[in-house]
Structure 1
C-alpha cells in the first residue's frame, strides 16, 4: 500500500501543476457610462457557461479563466443597465468597461411621420410593436403583426389562401365607396401597401399612428390611420451572421358535416316525391330502395380536396459595421402550400440596408428590397351551371359519385341528371385547371442627410417602387369547367411603379434648460404610373401547351390594354415644443395637391394640434411614490381620403363596338359626367388620452377616447336615366365613428431566473351613417357579386341613416308552416305548403314581400381584444397570445346554399332532420322547398361570429454556448390557431369573402378555410 501511495503522489503533483498552468485570472473594472462612477454588484459571466463573479464596491472583479478560453466573451449585466459583451482576446486585464443605463419605456424612441420622438414626448395616439414582439410569432405577411396586438386596430384575415389578403381597420370604417385601409409607409416610402412581398423577418419595429394629430402629417392619405414599418439596420461594433429556419404543417381547423351517399340518395328521392305531387308529368325516383341500401358513406369531397400542407421559411442575414459604415444584408425564402389541392404561395426576397457616414456633417442611407412571389390559386370560379369553384362545388356535389371512374379517369360531372345540379368534379378543377400569379417587386429608397448648421439638418430622399404582375389562367377542355367554350386561356401583365422625392429640413434644439424645439418642414412629390395588357382565347384543340400559346385557341378574343398616371404634390410642417419637460405642444399642417380631383379643388389643407401635460413632473406629485408616470393628452386634427380610381372628375370613355355585316365597327362610349368640383373626403377627429404608470413602470396603462366625423364622402350617387349615365362620384354624405381604447402592460414577475409580463388591449368602436346625400337608405351587399346574379338572394345589407355600415338586411324566420289549416287560418297571401319556412309579416299586409325586410344583425363588433403573456425561466421562454372578437354577426352563405339553396345539391347533415309530416319538431324546411332561396337572406343563416382564439403559443429554448463559432443558438415550437371557441358553424368566424369591400362585410361564401398550424424552428447566431 505504501508503495502504491508513493506512485500516486507524483501523479497528483503533475496534475496539480498542469491545472495551475492551464488556469489564469482576468481582472477589470466596470463603470457607469453616464458619470464614469464604479458600479458594484455587476454580474460578470463567461458567455455560454455558468462560471462568473460580480464586482466589488469599487467596481472591480476577478474571474478565473482557462487558457483555452482566451477568446471567451464576458457578459456584463446589472439591473437598470443594458447588458454588454466584451471579448477577452487573450487579455489579463479589462479595465473601464462602461454600462449604459437602460432606456425606460418612456425614454424609448419611436418612429413618427418624418422623424422620431421619445415616448415621453408623444402628444398623439401612437402605438408601437417592437422587434421582440415581431420575432415572437412566425407569420406569412407583415400586416399580420398587427392582429390583436394594438388597441383600436382590427385585423381580419379575409382570405386564408396562401398569399391571401387581410383587411385592417384603424378606429372604424370611415368611408362607404372609397378605401378604408391605412397608409403603409415602409422605411419612409409612403404608399407601399402591397405587403405580400415584404419579408416579416426583416422588420425591426412597427408604429401605428391612430389619431388625427399623429396622422395629419400625411394629409390626404391619413384619414384611415398610418402604419410605419421600419426594417432592420446594421449596428456598429460587431459583425454578425444570423440564420433562422422553420418548417411546419397546416391542417383544416373545421369541416362542414355533410350528408353521406345514402342520406343524399334518400334526400333526392324525397325532393322528387315532393315535386311529383304538383306535377302533371311526374318523374321516376332517382334511386330504388335496393340501390339506397347498397350505398355506404360515399365520397367525402372535402377530404379529397383538403390536405395537410407544409410550410417552411429560411432566413440568412449579415449585420454589422463600424462608426462609418453599417449594413444589413438578408436573404429569405418562404414556401407555403395551401390546404386545398394545387394551391400555394412562394416568396423570395433580398434586402440590403446600408448607412454610410461620409463626414461629421454628411451621411447617406439606402433601404432596398428585391422580391418575387408566386401564387397558385385554388379559386377557379367555374362557368355554366356552377357558380362556385373548387371549394363550394366540393360541398355541393353528390357524395354518391366517385372521384375517378372505373377507367381511372376523373369523373366528368355530377349525376344523375336532371335530379342533381350539373357541376363538375372539384378534384379535377384543382388538379388540372390553372390560375397562377407571379409578382416581381423592387422597393428602393435612398436618403442623404446634411447638417447645415448645428441642429439644422437637410434630408433629401429619392425612392422607387416597381411591381410587375403576370397572371396565367387556363381551363382545359377535358374537364367540366372548360366545357362551354372547349377550353379557355388568358395571359395578362400589369406594371405598376411610383417614384418619390422628399425634401425636409429639421431643426432640433434645446433653447435652454426649460425650452426645447423641434421643427420639421418639407416638400414631397410622388407620381404613380401603370399599364396593363391582357389576351385570351378559347376553343382549344389541345391542352398540351395550356396558355403558353394562345394561338392554339381557334377563337382569339379581343385583347385589352390600358395606361394611367396620377400625381401627388405636398407641403408640410410640424412644430414640437417642450416647456419645462412637462408641457408638450404639437402643431402640424399639410397641403396636398392631387391630379385625381377636379380642377376647382386640386388642393386640400389638413391642420392638427395636440397638447400633452406630464402631470407626474409637478412637485406636488412627488409624494405619490406608487405613481411613476402620469400624462394627459388632447388633440384635434383634419385628415383626408383620396382612395378612388383615377380620372373620376374628368370625361372618360370606353370602347364600344357592334357588328355591321361581316365588319366590326369600333367607337367610344362616354362613361361618366364631368365633376370639376370633386375633392377629398375630410375626417375631423378629436382624441383625449391618458398614460399612467405605477410601481416604477411595472404597470403601464394607456386609455383613449376619440370622436371622428367624415364629411364630403366620395359617394357614388345615382343619376336620372335622362342623363344617360347610372351614377356619379359626388362629395356628399357623412359617417361618424367614436370609441374607447385601453392598453395595459404589466411586469408581473421580474426575478433573476423567472420573468412574466402581460400585454392586454381592448377596443370598442361605434359607427353610424349620418347622411346619404338626402337618402334615408340604400340596399347593398353580396348580391352585387356575379356569384349571386339570378340567385334570388337580393341585397344582403342596408346603408341607413342612424345605423352602422355593415347592417345586415333580410327577413325574420318564424318557424315552419305545419299544416294547410294553419296556412289558411293565417290569412297569408304568399303561396306556401306545409314544411315551408315561415317569415314574419312585419307590415301586416298578409304577404311576404321586400317591405317585410328589416335589420337582422351587425357586422361591426361590439369590442375586440388581445392578451399576450410572456414567461421566461432560465433558458426557456413561453409566449401565449389570445385574440378575441365579441358581438359580431357573420352571414353564412355557404349554409344558405347547403341548407336551403338549390334543392339538387348536397346538404348539411342537419337536413336529415328536415320537416316531414311525421317529423314536425324541426326548423329545417321540407325537401324541395325553394321559398328561402327565392326570398332572400333570413336571420337563421346569420350567425354569431364572436370568438376567442388561442392564436399563438410559442415555446423556445436558448441553448447554452457550445462552440466558439456559434455565438447563440435557440430552438422553438409554435402552434397557431390552436383552439377557437365560437358558436359559428362554418370553417372560421374570421372571414370576409369580399375582401375589404365596405358594403359586404363579414360574408362567408366559398372562402378558403382557415388552418391550424404547427411549426418547429431554429435560430443560430455567428
Structure 2
C-alpha cells in the first residue's frame, strides 16, 4: 500500500502542474455605463461553458479561463444589456461598462393600475422619461409637458413664482365643471397641486389621452390623466447624486409708458377738454413752468422690477440589493421674483422603499414631505379697484417720486382729482405682507402577494395631507391701510384624503399564440376640507403683523367650514394578445360618488380598443425599411365630477343681523335641491397609427379623435316663484375633435456625434352644441371697475361657437367731425374724438345688441420642436414652442390706452385725437365712452407666438480612472429660458390668463405677473 502511494504522489503533482498550465486567472471591473458606478452581482461566464463568477460589491471579479484558444467572457445583469468580451491573452481586461436595457424604461409604459409594453398599447398614451425631465430646470412638474406632448396645451397662466399652470388635454370639455386632468402620483389619484412635488424626483410622466386609456379612472377621466412615477432605487447600485444650480431672471419686456412731462400734458389736455365741453374754468393741474422742471420723472415699472434669482439644491441616495431597494432625496428650491417681495420657496424630503419579503411577497413605500411658501404681490393696493402692485405701477403718475424730500415714501397719488387715487406701489410691495404657506405629506404603502403563478393580489393604502395657511398684513403706514389703521387676516385651509385600493392582476402567456392580462379591483377614497378665517383691524402697532390678531381693536366676525365627499369604485380591464399582433383591451369602471343626487349615485364607464400590429404579418417582411406599423382604434365613455360637495342637496346659508347690541344669527335656504344631479359624460372615439422606419430611426405617431360631452353641469333658469332664479342641472353638450401628430428622428448616431429631433403638432376644434335650448349665455370675468354692471361679461357661450369666444363691439376708428356723426344718423350721444363702433343691427344706436364675437381664445394649433445634439462630452438641447391662431383680451392695454382718464397711459396715446384727421386709432384725452361700453375689438389682440423656450448646453467632465473610484460622473450646464418670443401681442406675454384655470375666462390679461428671461448655470455630480 505504501509503495502504491509513492507511485500516486508524483502522478498527482504532474496532473496538477499540467492543469495549472492550461488555465490563467483573469480579473476586471464591471461598471454602469450611465454613471460609472460599480455593479455588484454581475454574472461573468466563459461562453459555451458553465464556468463563471460574480462581481463583488466593488464590481470586481477574478475568473480562471483556459490558457489556450481565445475564450470569450459573457457579462449579464438584470436590467442591463449583456456584453461579450474576448480575453485575448490578457490577465486583466480592465473596465467593462454595461448599458441599461432600452426596454427598462423606454419600452415600458405606466398605465392605470399597471404597466404595459409600448408595443402592446392600444390607446393613446404619451410618455416623458426622467432624462427629458432633467434636460430643463423647472419649478413645477407639469411645466415639462409644455410643447413636448401632442394634444396637450400647457399655459403658464401667471408667471409669479409658484404661479399656476393650466393644462388642457384634447380641448375644453366642460363649462362650469373642471377642465384640468386627473393627476396620479405614485398610484395616488387626485394629487392635484404639483407645486409641492420636486421635479428632480420624477422617473417618468405618462399622459393618458383617449377613453381606452382613461376609462379605468371613470368619473375622473374625461379631461385626461397624468401619471407621475417617482424614482426608486436599483439593485446593486449604491449611488449618491448631487445637483445644484443658480440663475438670474429679468422681465422680458415692459410697457412703453408716458414719462412725467407727457403725462402732465395729457392731464392738462383732459381738463382743457372737460372745461370746453362742460363750460367750466377749472384750473389746469400743471403749469408749463412745472412741466419744464419735471425731467423724466419716475419709471414705476423700473421701481418695482428687480433682477430675480433662483437656486436649487438636490441630494439623492439610492441603491440596494435584489431584495431591498431605496431612494432618499432632499431638495431645496428658492426663487426671488422680478417684482419686489415676490418669491417662492420649497423644501422637500422623499423616501421610496421596495422590499421583497419572500418569493411571493413584495411591499413598497412611497412618501414625500414638503413645505412651500409663496410671497404674493397681485393683490389690491388701493382698497378700491381690482389692482395689485404691478397694475398700480402701470397706472401711478410718473410725476410722483418714490420718496419725498424727507426720505419717506410718497403716500398717495397726486394731484387729486386729476389722477386716480391710489397708494404708492413700491411702499406697498416693501411694507405689506401676503404669504401663502403649504405643508404637505403624500404617503402610499402597498403590499403584493403572488397567489398563484401569474396571479397577484395588491393592497394599498395612502393619504394626502395638505394644509394651507395664508397670513396677510397691511400696515397703517401705506395708503390702503390708513382707513383701517392696519388690517390683518389669518386663514387656514386644511385638506386630507385617504385612499384604499385592492387589485387582482392575472398576467399569463397561455400558449405560444395567446396572452392574457386581467386587472380587477375596488377602491375607496374620501376627501375632507376644513377651513377658517379670522380678521381684525385698527392696530396700535404694526410690529407683529398678523402674528397676533388680538392686538386689533376691531376684531371682525370669524368664519369656518367643513365639507367632505366620498368615492367608491369597482373597475376591471382585460388585455388580450393574439398571435402577438392582434391586441384587444376592454375596460369598465363603476363609480359611486356622494357629490351627486340619490337618484344618480352610480355611473358606469366602459371602453374598448383594438390594435393591429400589421408589421408582424408575413406579407410585410418584404418592406425592409419599415421597423414598426401598428393601427389603433378605441371608443369609450368617461366622466367629470368636479363640482363642490353637497350640490345636489338642499343647503342653508347664514343670515346674520344686529338688533340693538345683540347679533342674531339664522339660516335660510340657499338653493333648490336636485336629486337627479349626475356627472358629465364624455364619449370619445380615437383612431391612430404608429409607424417607424429604418430600424426605428424615424418614428411617427398620429391620432384623429372625436369627443362629445353631454349632461353638462349647468345653472338652468327656473321660475322665480320658487324663490330662486336657477338650479344646477345636467343639460347641454360640447364637442371637441382634432388631430395629433408627433415625429421622432435619429438624424445622426455615431460614437462622436449624434442628433435627435422631436416634432409634435396638434389641432383641436371646440364647439358648443347645446345650452339646454338657449342660443347663448354671456360669461367671462373682468374688473367691474373697468366694466360696471351688465357690461362686465367678456365672452359668450353660443351654440355652434367655441368656448372662449370674446364678445364685444367692433371698433371702426374715431369720430372726426360733428357732420360725420350727423350723417350717420346715430342717436347715441357721441362727440368728435370718441371711438366709433359698428352699428351691426342698423337701428342707429349703439347698445348691447351691437355686440358680436370679436375673437377666439381657443388656438388653431399648437406645436413643439426639440433638437438634441451631442459631440463627445458636449451636449446641446434646443426647444421651440408655439401657439397659432389664438386671441388675447388685453385689459391692461384697455386701461392704459383709454379706459380711465386719470391713470398713466401708453406713450402711443401721445398721438391721440386732437382734431379732425389727427388720429383714427386713439380717442381724445377725455373720452370715457369705452368705460360704459364693454370690451372692444381693438383690445382683443393676436396672441399667436413662437418661442425659443429653452437652450441648454452641458459638458460631461472627463474623469481620470483614479478619480472614478470616488466620483463616477460630473457635468456642468448652462440653460437659457424664454430667450426669444416672436409675437404681435403688445402686452408682457401672450401666454397668460389672469383668471387661472377658469374655463370661461380664457386668455385674459389683467394684472398678470410678467414672464421672465432666465439664465441658469448648474453642476451635477454622481458618487
TM-score, with length taken from structure 2: 0.91
- SS of aligned partner of 1:703: strand
Query: What is the distance in 2 between the residues matched to 1:117 and 1:1013?
Result: 38
Q: Indicate the larger mover: 107-116 or 940-949.
A: 107-116
Query: What is the distance in 1 between the residues matched to 2:1019 and 2:490?
Result: 40
- SS of aligned partner of 1:782: coil
Give the superposition deviation at 1:919. 5.6
- 8 Å contact from structure 2 (residues 382, 422) kept in 1: no
Q: Which residue of 1 aligns with 2:213?
A: 214
Structure 1 residues 888 and 36, CA gap change in structure 2 (3 angstroms): farther
- SS of aligned partner of 2:599: coil
Which of residues 921, 924, 928 in structure 2 aligns to 1:930? 928
- 8 Å contact from structure 1 (residues 445, 463) kept in 2: yes
Q: Which residue of 1 aligns with 2:590?
A: 591
Matching of residues 496-515 of structure 1 within 5 Å: 496-515=495-514
Structure 1 residues 27 and 341, CA gap change in structure 2 (3 angstroms): closer
Matching of residues 485-564 of structure 1 within 5 Å: 485-564=484-563
Query: What is the distance in 2 between the residues matched to 1:632 and 1:149?
Result: 23
Query: What is the distance in 1 between the residues matched to 2:1020 and 2:101?
Result: 26
- 8 Å contact from structure 1 (residues 386, 393) kept in 2: no
Q: Which residue of 2 aligns with 1:332?
A: 331
Q: Which residue of 2 aligns with 1:1018?
A: 1019
- SS of aligned partner of 2:253: coil
Q: Which residue of 2 aligns with 1:997?
A: 998
Q: Which residue of 2 aligns with 1:7?
A: none
Q: Which residue of 2 aligns with 1:451?
A: 450
Structure 1 residues 374 and 366, CA gap change in structure 2 (3 angstroms): same
1:607 aligns with 2:591: no
- 8 Å contact from structure 2 (residues 43, 75) kept in 1: no
Q: Which residue of 2 aligns with 1:14?
A: none
Query: What is the distance in 1 between the residues matched to 2:656 and 2:715?
Result: 27
Give the superposition deviation at 1:538. 1.4
Structure 1 residues 107 and 470, CA gap change in structure 2 (3 angstroms): closer
Query: What is the distance in 2 between the residues matched to 1:100 and 1:345?
Result: 39
Give the superposition deviation at 1:106. 11
Query: What is the distance in 2 between the residues matched to 1:259 and 1:819?
Result: 28
Q: Which residue of 2 aligns with 1:434?
A: 433
- 8 Å contact from structure 1 (residues 33, 100) kept in 2: no
Query: What is the distance in 2 between the residues matched to 1:455 and 1:399?
Result: 75
Q: Indicate the larger mover: 282-291 or 877-886.
A: 282-291
Give the superposition deviation at 1:621. 0.4
Structure 1 residues 331 and 631, CA gap change in structure 2 (3 angstroms): same
Which of residues 878, 889, 893 in structure 2 aligns to 1:891? 889
Give the superposition deviation at 1:509. 0.3
- 8 Å contact from structure 1 (residues 486, 538) kept in 2: yes
Matching of residues 771-790 of structure 1 within 5 Å: 771-783=770-782, 788=786, 790=788
Q: Which residue of 1 aligns with 2:405?
A: 406
Structure 1 residues 877 and 718, CA gap change in structure 2 (3 angstroms): same
Give the superposition deviation at 1:121. 0.2
Q: Indicate the larger mover: 728-737 or 384-393.
A: 384-393
- SS of aligned partner of 1:271: helix
- 8 Å contact from structure 1 (residues 28, 93) kept in 2: no
- SS of aligned partner of 2:868: strand
Structure 1 residues 58 and 684, CA gap change in structure 2 (3 angstroms): farther
Give the superposition deviation at 1:806. 0.2
Query: What is the distance in 2 between the residues matched to 1:701 and 1:325?
Result: 39
- 8 Å contact from structure 1 (residues 244, 1020) kept in 2: yes
Query: What is the distance in 2 between the residues matched to 1:835 and 1:204?
Result: 61
Structure 1 residues 763 and 34, CA gap change in structure 2 (3 angstroms): farther
Give the superposition deviation at 1:190. 0.2
For residues 441-465 of structure 1, what are the alpha-carbon distances to aligned partners after superposition, in whole Å with 9 as ceiling and x for unaligned? Answer: 0000000010000000000000010
Give the superposition deviation at 1:204. 0.3
- 8 Å contact from structure 1 (residues 29, 61) kept in 2: no
Matching of residues 714-753 of structure 1 within 5 Å: 714-753=713-752
Structure 1 residues 910 and 34, CA gap change in structure 2 (3 angstroms): farther
TM-score, with length taken from structure 1: 0.92
Give the superposition deviation at 1:107. 7.2
Query: What is the distance in 1 between the residues matched to 2:30 and 2:244?
Result: 40
For residues 843-890 of structure 1, what are the alpha-carbon distances to aligned partners after superposition, in whole Å with 9 as ceiling and x for unaligned? Answer: 011111110000011000000000110001000000000000000000
- SS of aligned partner of 2:497: strand
Give the superposition deviation at 1:824. 1.0
Gaps in structure 1 of 5+ consecutive residues: 1-23, 39-46, 48-56, 63-73
Give the superposition deviation at 1:97. 7.5
Q: Which residue of 1 aligns with 2:846?
A: 848
1:465 aligns with 2:464: yes
Give the superposition deviation at 1:35. 12
Q: Which residue of 2 aligns with 1:188?
A: 187
- 8 Å contact from structure 1 (residues 36, 98) kept in 2: no
- SS of aligned partner of 2:278: coil
- 8 Å contact from structure 1 (residues 27, 61) kept in 2: no
Query: What is the distance in 1 between the residues matched to 2:69 and 2:543?
Result: 82
Q: Which residue of 2 aligns with 1:828?
A: 826
Q: Which residue of 1 aligns with 2:693?
A: 694
- 8 Å contact from structure 1 (residues 310, 337) kept in 2: yes
Query: What is the distance in 1 between the residues matched to 2:637 and 2:817?
Result: 62
Q: Which residue of 2 aligns with 1:905?
A: 903
Q: Indicate the larger mover: 720-729 or 816-825.
A: 720-729
Q: Indicate the larger mover: 909-918 or 477-486.
A: 477-486
- 8 Å contact from structure 2 (residues 747, 754) kept in 1: yes
Structure 1 residues 718 and 157, CA gap change in structure 2 (3 angstroms): same
Q: Which residue of 2 aligns with 1:941?
A: 939
Q: Which residue of 1 aligns with 2:978?
A: 977
- SS of aligned partner of 1:600: helix
Q: Which residue of 2 aligns with 1:8?
A: none
Query: What is the distance in 1 between the residues matched to 2:231 and 2:530?
Result: 33
1:797 aligns with 2:771: no
For residues 357-383 of structure 1, what are the alpha-carbon distances to aligned partners after superposition, in whole Å with 9 as ceiling and x for unaligned? Answer: 000000100000000001111112134
Query: What is the distance in 2 between the residues matched to 1:164 and 1:807?
Result: 25
Structure 1 residues 744 and 366, CA gap change in structure 2 (3 angstroms): same
Q: Which residue of 2 aligns with 1:967?
A: 968
- SS of aligned partner of 2:935: coil
Query: What is the distance in 1 between the residues matched to 2:103 and 2:700?
Result: 15
- 8 Å contact from structure 2 (residues 46, 71) kept in 1: no
Give the superposition deviation at 1:102. 4.0
Give the superposition deviation at 1:665. 1.1
- 8 Å contact from structure 2 (residues 381, 392) kept in 1: no
Q: Which residue of 2 aligns with 1:261?
A: 260
For residues 818-856 of structure 1, what are the alpha-carbon distances to aligned partners after superposition, in whole Å with 9 as ceiling and x for unaligned? Answer: 111111111111111111111110001111111000001
Query: What is the distance in 1 between the residues matched to 2:83 and 2:1004?
Result: 53
Give the superposition deviation at 1:722. 2.1
Q: Indicate the larger mover: 246-255 or 532-541.
A: 532-541
Give the superposition deviation at 1:574. 0.3
Query: What is the distance in 1 between the residues matched to 2:335 and 2:530?
Result: 30
Query: What is the distance in 2 between the residues matched to 1:851 and 1:1005?
Result: 26
- SS of aligned partner of 2:102: coil
Structure 1 residues 85 and 392, CA gap change in structure 2 (3 angstroms): farther
- SS of aligned partner of 1:760: strand
1:631 aligns with 2:630: yes
Matching of residues 221-236 of structure 1 within 5 Å: 221-236=220-235
- SS of aligned partner of 1:1017: strand
For residues 640-679 of structure 1, what are the alpha-carbon distances to aligned partners after superposition, in whole Å with 9 as ceiling and x for unaligned? Answer: 0000000000111111011222221110021111111001
- 8 Å contact from structure 2 (residues 973, 1019) kept in 1: yes
- SS of aligned partner of 2:510: strand
Structure 1 residues 28 and 318, CA gap change in structure 2 (3 angstroms): closer
For residues 579-603 of structure 1, what are the alpha-carbon distances to aligned partners after superposition, in whole Å with 9 as ceiling and x for unaligned? Answer: 0000000000000000000001100
Give the superposition deviation at 1:37. 7.0
Q: Which residue of 2 aligns with 1:65?
A: none
For residues 228-256 of structure 1, what are the alpha-carbon distances to aligned partners after superposition, in whole Å with 9 as ceiling and x for unaligned? Answer: 00000000011000000000001100100
- 8 Å contact from structure 1 (residues 215, 226) kept in 2: yes
Which of residues 948, 952, 955 in structure 1 aligns to 2:953? 955
For residues 139-196 of structure 1, what are the alpha-carbon distances to aligned partners after superposition, in whole Å with 9 as ceiling and x for unaligned? Answer: 0001101110000000000011001110000000000000000000000000000101
1:351 aligns with 2:350: yes
Gaps in structure 2 of 5+ consecutive residues: 1-24, 32-41, 50-57, 59-67
- SS of aligned partner of 2:371: strand
Query: What is the distance in 1 between the residues matched to 2:233 and 2:80?
Result: 22
